[in-house]
Structures are given as structure tokens and as C-alpha cells.
Structure 1
Amino acid sequence: MAWDLRRGGLPGEADTAVKRPGTAQRPAGTPKLVGVVWGLLILNTLGSAGAKTIVPLPRSLIQLVTMGALGAAFALALALNLRLRIRPSAFVLLLTLLLVPSVISSLGLEVGFGALFRCSRLALFVGTLWLLTRWWDGSFTFVRTHIRVYFVVLGSVAAGLVVSPGTAMPEYYGGRLVGALWPLTPPQIGQYAAVIIGLTVLLAIGRLIDRTSATVVMVPSLVLLAMTHTRTATLGLLIGLVLAIGSLVLTSAAARRFFSWAVLCAVVAAAVFASALQAWFLRGQSKENFSNLTGRAKVWDALLAAPRTSAEQLFGMGLGDKSFGGLPIDNSWLAVYNEQGLIGVALVAAVILVLGGVALLRPPSVPRACAIFLISYVAISSYTEAGLGDASPYLLHLALAASLLAAPAAATPPLTTDVPRRRVPRWAQERR
């Protein structure tokens, strides 16, 4: 895939930009192994439970692979950053504070020893992010890795669809696309597709990727997204792109053109394919089933009505599998409330507010637009998807946004070549 990404700004900017006095250029580059660390973090968050695969994979084997990926990511990040050089990050600091209610609630072992295991996993995940902050400088290093790794994951989904269409679109999921080679659910596939589509669109608007590469990424991803029938991912993609492109409209002619064409195409599609779009959106569900969010509202009501002690309200019940009464919670805020209490909810809300506030304070740019897209997508998805309180793809999306919003690391000013003139004594001057 041919990428036209250049460190320091848009293409051509490095030759024409005027250097500010007293500043130096950025470091020569980020080690390639940093991208490997990021890819291992993505592998760790793919999950161990999902659809039935062509070749049955034991859950213990999947957990061994995912947890092994996290351990390898931490070890490799530590090897790359042996001097433990980290950058201040309010985002990672808040995630570190989130460990406090997680550990306190998990020590009660009300949800079993698995809670302490999940706490150690979250601690290792946060520790790896701390080690990676050394290379968070607002560049697109992690964005490229994010797109490429998730595109490979989607490639495995497409391969499974070709090899065994029946397994990839099973009846127990209503004919929606799942992972036939690796157990991925429709919401997971829709999430990955929506995120890389949005990031690729923004890179294309900023002319940081050529049209061929953008087409190669976007077209198959759009097809897979449509086959998953994932409404949350679709709405998150559309609303996130509107907010992100809106932040560039005043400063980018390409953003204005794309926005105008997108609105025109949306109007035409709504007029011509209204019935088909409505059928796709409803997925054959009744209005009653759609109104209670496919049964989610019943689980939410039961969770909120359950009796709790004061300690459980503050610190939660301990890290679990994001379920209540054997049913998935499918809401990040209620899942955090159930597992990490009101303190956890406050910390997760602070994460979203801090990142959003920093994004609003940054001047218009493509990195800022990508961060706005990621933050808004995660905020929208949090209503019907869980994961903000534990190591998950959603925290990785927010970590990517934090890396894009980080200011470039200050470099040591170059040494001056001016040598002070030595004063010649008066007796030497007279001898001359």
C-alpha cells in the first residue's frame, strides 16, 4: 500500500515551512518495532468469544494468543524504552487512576479470581501505553499502523467469507457477517471497518494518502460494514465524519468539496433507496424490539434496579465479562458502573471530556480531525457497546486520539557555531 505520509506536516510542507526561532526539527523517526507493539495491542483486544469458526478454536488457545500478545507488547515496548522515558499524558494518567477502583472492587472476589486477572491485564495494557507515550508527537505513525492492522483483520474476515459463506453468515446471527477464521462478532467487524474508513477519508482529504490506496481500503471495508448490518458503527462513522470534516471546512478546500459531494450523495441515496435503507436499518426487527434496543433496555433496567451497598456503588462489583444476569450489558457506562462504580464512571467521563476539550483547543489540522472522529465515534458507540472500563479496542481508539493531540516533543536547540573572540592583552598588542 503506497502511503504518502511525511513527518512534520502535509506533503511539501517540509521544504517551504518557516522554522520558528529557537526550535529544532523532530527526531529522525520512530522505530519500526513501535508499530509492532501497537499491532500486538490490537491483537490482544480482538477478544476470545464470538462466532463459530470453520476450524473450531479452543477458547483457552485464543486467550493464550491474546494474552501472549499483550505480554510481548509490554516486553518489546520496555526493550525499546529501557530508560523509561515517558511523556505527560492526562489520558494515560486517568486510565492509571481507573485501576484503583478496579483493584479495590476485585479484591472482594465476588466475581471470582478472573477479576484479579483482568486487573493485571488492564495494568499491563496501561503500562504499555505509558512506555509508548515517548513516541506520541502528533504524527501519523500510529494511524498508519492502526489502519493496516485492522485492514489485515478485515482481510481475514473476507477470506472466511470466500472459503465458507455459510459459516461467515450464520442464521443464529440473522445472516450478518461474522469472523469464520477468527471468532469475531458483527459489531466488532463493523467497528473495525468504520474506524479505518473514517481515518482513511480524513487522510485522503489532507492528501496524506493517494487515491488508489484510499480506494483499496475504503471499498472492501464499506462492503463488509454493510454486510454486518451494524447500526451503531454506521451511525458512529457518519456522525464522526461530519464532526471531523466540519472542523476542517473553514481551512480546507478539499474538505469543503468532499462535504458538498457527501451531502448531495446522501440526499440522492435517501430519495432513491429509502425503502432499502429502512429495511437494512431495521434488520427485520419489529418496532417493539427496535424500541427497546434489541432487548438491551431490559438488562439495563434490571442492572439499575439491583440492590447495592454503598461500597459497591462507589467501587463496583469487580472486573467481569461485561454481563449482568448472564446477559451482555452492551453499554459502556452501565458496565463501568457495575464493575468499577461511580468512581469509575467519573474517571471514564473525564477521559472523554479531557480528550474532547484538548481537541477543541487545537488549531484546525488533519491530526485534530482524526482525533475528533475517534473521540466522537467512541462516545456514540459507548451507548450500545461495552469496553471503556477495560482493555479494549475503544481504549485503543482513544489512545490513538491522544497520540494525535500530543504536542511535538521539544528538541534540544542546535549548538551555535559562533566562537567568542579571545581578548588580546595590551602588551601583546604593543608587541605587534
Structure 2
Amino acid sequence: MDGRHTPKIVGIVWGLLVLNTLGSAGAKTIIPLPRSLIQMVTMGALVAAFALALAVNLQLRIRPSAYVSLLTLLLVTSVISSANLESGFGALFRCFRLTLFVCTLWLLTRWWDGSLTFVRHHIRMYFAVLGSVAAGLAVSPGAALPDLYGGRLVGDLWPLTPPQIGQYAAVIIGLTVLLLLERRTDRTSAAVVIVPSLVLLALTHTRTATLGLLVGLVVAIGSLLLTSAAARRFFTWTVACAAVAAVALGSVLQAWFLRGQSKENFSSLTGRAKVWDALLAAPRSASEQLFGVGLGDKSFGGLPIDNSWLAVYNEQGLIGVTLVAIIIIVLGGVALLRPPSLQRACAIFLISYCAIASYTEAGLGDASPYLLHLALAASLLATPAEAGPLATPEVPRRHVPRWARRSEVV
């Protein structure tokens, strides 16, 4: 079942990983869900994902992966930084969660062969998540667009914040556009995914996700310009439409982008810069600078850090920051060295999106959707199974039934 054939259970494992990374903190839901129950569901999904991945790969056959190897080193750093319990016993629990996450990825590398299988799993699962958001919006618009979040769209069936919804929508929009350009999906199927996802993205007013989507698509489609006529046409039409929209709808777009914020609030990135300055100014020992204070809830002084690099610096120190930087550089370097292809374009989109989002969102140092996006990129950049030791062995001709031999000429 290696290489060319991916068991259906692998798609279930990927979906469970997505469920685990949805998190447990967010908006108030229509039916109040205890946080302990949500954490039980998400953690249970991770345990189930690991168990299923192990069951389908009992021989423990894995493929070499620089990405997962670097994640393993990051895990070791996290354990070292969390061992002194400066962040409490919760740090050790988060280390256990990250361990299961990384081990599950190792088990899945057996099927990382550069195909689009995991891209389709990714799109389907996140589209299902967005479906729950849309259902919540239809059932209770007031709860889905609360004043607490400035009228931005939240998940009121499952607690999801506007940045989370924007991220999921942007990622599947970008991947679906690339599949459509290379005719790996039909227009109807693409429209079913892209149109409602665009509406939800607009309702979240998430600038990071929107910018990541636009820049990621520009870079990804740019990698296809020399080999794809469809990419060249799409790029030309997109630039023309963007220019017209900028002129005709400039004031509307500016109002959407500012979200009614003052210039001072906007320049401080909605208060993020104050938290960043305080974090960098806080005194640290040499050990804390190197290894951090241990895995926490990505906050400082009770306020969210909202920056992957500073969150990693706070929790895993300079060593963690170095490892995360190497992950981005290695994935980006491998993508640039690959010949132009749809898989390469999808990987470039995901890497670009995560790099942009890392400035205002945390998640590159712990089990999160961002690490799952990068895992998808790594699977797309893997060499085909036919070229490696895990290729499905060819069945000798003498064992092929006669009726099957006659069909070989077709």
C-alpha cells in the first residue's frame, strides 16, 4: 500500500490531526461547551490519530524527512526547556502532545510521495470546519458576529476565532485555485470551495490571512508562469482586476482593511507591539535565552504574543528560533530547487503563507495548523515513491492471471 496506493485510513488520520489543532479557546458557542470537554475531544483526536497511524504502519516503515527531523529536534528542545517546570506541569503535557503529533507525522511519511493526496485531505477537512462556521452563521447570526470581536465572524458551534477562520479559508482557497489552474479539479467543484470560503474570509476581516493568500498565490503562480499558459492568463487577469478594484473600490477596501481602528492602534498592530516590546525587555537568564521557559499558552503577562518568532523565543529560546528558521529555509530551498510543477507551487504557497502569518500569529513552535500546513508542503516536496526504496514492488508476470495480461495493451 506504499507510494502509489494510500489507504483511506490515512485520510482519517490527517483529519484527526486537523481536529486536534483547532484548539479549545475561542468565541462563546450557542450551546456552552466546557473547555475541558473540548480539550478532551481535541486530545482524543490526536491519540486516535497516532493509534490509527501505528495500526496502518505496524512495520514502522518511514521515509527520510528533513522537516520531521527538525521538528524532532524542536521537540527535544521543548522537553529540555519544560523540564524545570517554570511554566508548570502544563508544559510537560504540551510536550507530550507535541510528541504524539511528531510521531504521527513520522508514521505518515511512509505515504509522502509528492502526490496531491494529502492536499485533497487538507482541503476537505478544513472545508468541513468552515461548513460548521457557515452553519453557525445561519443558525445564529448574532452569536456568529458578536460585538466582542467587533462584528467579525467567529465559530459559534465550535469555538473558533476570526484569525483561525480566516487562516483556514485562505489556505483552502489558495490550494483550490492552484488545482483549478492545472486542471486537477473542475470549475464547479472549485467554485463550491472558493466562493463560500471567500465570503467567510471577508466576514472575518482578517488582514493577515488575506495578505498571506494574495502574496502566497502571487509567488506560487509565479513559479508556474514559465510552464503553464493557464497560470500566465490567470496572473494577467488578476493583475488587471486588482488594478481596477484598487481604483474603483479604494475607499471600501481601505475601510475593510482598517476595521474602524485609529491610526495609533493600527500602527501598533492592534496592541501587539506593546506585548512584543515588554517580552523583549524582560530580564532572562542565559538558560532562558537559549532554551526558553518551556511550552506555554503563547502569552506573556496574560496577553497573547501573536508572533511565532517571539513565542518560540519565549518558550524554546534562541535554539528554538534557530530550528524554526532552518525549517522555513530548508523547505523554501528545496521548493526552489524542484522543477516547476503543481506540487511545487502548492508547497511554495503554503510556505509563503506560513512565513507571512508568523509575524502576527503564533504556532510555529507547537502542534498547530501552521506545522500541519508545513507538513503538507514537505509531503509535496518528497521524491516520488517509485524512485525510492518504498516503491510498490512489481508483480512478476508469471503471477498475473491471463485475463489481466490481455488488458495490458489498453
The TM-score range, normalised by the shorter chain, is over 0.9
- Inter-partner Cα distance in structure 1 for 2:134 and 2:154: 10
Per-residue deviation, 1:28: 4.4
1:277 is matched with which residue: 249, 253, 257? 253
Gaps of 5+ in 1: 1-25, 419-432
**Whole-Å Cα distance in 2 between the matches of residues 170 and 357 of structure 1?**
43
How far apart, in 2, do the equivalents of 1:259 and 1:391 lie? 34
| Superposition deviation, residue 110 in structure 1 | 1.1
Residues 1:117 and 1:272: Cα distance change in structure 2 (over 3 Å): same
State the aligned residue count. 394
Distance 2:52 2:285 in 1: 42
CA distance 1:204–1:324, shift in 2 (3 Å): same
Contact 2:65–2:109 at 8 Å: present in 1 too?
yes
Alignment correspondent of 1:63: 39
- Residue 415 of structure 1 and its aligned partner are, at CA, apart by 7.6
Aligned pair 1:354/2:330, yes or no?
A: yes
Is 1:393 aligned with 2:400? no
Q: Distance in 1 between matches of 2:325 and 2:253?
A: 33
Which of 124, 130, 133 is the aligned partner of 2:106? 130
Match of 1:49 in 2: 25
Name segments (4+ residues, structure 1) moved above 2 Å.
410-418
The one-character-per-residue Cα deviations of 1:180-233 (angstroms, maximum 9, x if unpaired) are 100000000000000000000000001000000000000000000000000000
Whole-Å Cα distance in 2 between the matches of residues 300 and 112 of structure 1?
22
Superposed CA deviations along residues 137-196 of structure 1, whole A, max 9, x for unmatched, are 000111001000100100100000010001000001000000010000000000000000
Contact kept, 8 Å, 2:3 with 2:113, in 1: the verdict is no
Query: What is aligned with 1:21?
Result: none
- Residue in 2 that maps onto 1:427: none
- Deviation of the 1:114 alpha carbon: 0.2
Q: In the alignment, what sits opposite 1:377?
A: 353
Q: Deviations over 1:77-101 (max 9, x none)?
A: 0000000000000000000000122
Establish whether residue 82 from structure 1 lines up as the match of residue 55 from structure 2: no
Residues 115-194 of structure 1 aligned to structure 2 (within 5 Å): 115-194=91-170
Counterpart-to-counterpart distance in 2, 1:413 and 1:197? 37
Q: Which residue of 1 aligns with 2:402?
A: none
Rounded to whole Å, the distance in 2 between the matches of 1:416 and 1:164 is 61
2:406 alignment counterpart: none
User: In structure 1, the residue corresponding to 2:318 is in which secondary structure?
Assistant: helix
Match of 2:187 among 211, 216, 219: 211
State the one-letter code of the partner of 1:237.
L
Q: How far apart are the structure 2 equivalents of 1:345 and 1:417?
A: 53
Q: What SS class does the counterpart of residue 388 from structure 1 fall into?
A: coil
1:70 positional shift: 0.1
Q: Aligned ranges for residues 182-331 of structure 1 at < 5 Å? A: 182-331=158-307
Kept after mapping to 1: 8 A contact 2:26/2:159: yes
Q: 1:416 to 1:162 in 2, by over 3 A?
A: closer
Partner of 2:383: 407
CA shift digits 1:107-147 (9 cap, x unpaired): 11111100000000000000000000000000011100100
Distance in 2 (CA, whole Å) between partners of 1:166 and 1:110 is 41
The answer to whether the 8 A contact 2:4-2:392 is kept is no
Distance in 2, Cα, partners of 1:401 & 1:259 = 22
Shift of 1:339: 0.1
RMSD after superposition: 1.3
Cα drift, residue 272 of structure 1: 0.6
Question: How many angstroms does 1:105 deviate by?
Answer: 1.1
Instruction: Provide the TM-score with structure 2 as the length reference.
Output: 0.95
* Max Rg structure: 1
Q: What does residue 13 of structure 2 align with?
A: 37
1-side partners of 2:282 and 2:29: how far apart?
36
Q: 3-state DSSP class of the match of 1:330?
A: coil
Report if the CA contact (8 A) 2:3-2:112 is conserved. no
Structure having the larger proportion of residues in helix: 2
Q: More displaced, 328-337 or 26-35?
A: 26-35
Q: TM-score, normalised by structure 1?
A: 0.90
Q: Is the 8 A contact 2:3 2:392 kept in 1?
A: no
In structure 2, what residue type is equivalent to 1:252?
S
Quote how far apart the aligned CAs of 1:243 are.
Answer: 0.1
Compute the displacement of 1:104 (Å).
Answer: 1.0
Q: How far apart in 1 are the matches of 2:292 and 2:254?
A: 39
In structure 2, C-alpha distance between the alignment counterparts of 1:256 and 1:397, rounded to whole Å = 26
Q: Are residues 416 and 377 of structure 1, via their aligned partners in 2, closer, same or farther at CA, if it must alter by over 3 Å?
A: same
**Closer, same or farther: CA 249–53 of 1 in aligned 2, 3 Å:** same
The percent identity for this pair of structures is 82
Contiguous gaps of at least 5 residues in structure 2? 399-410
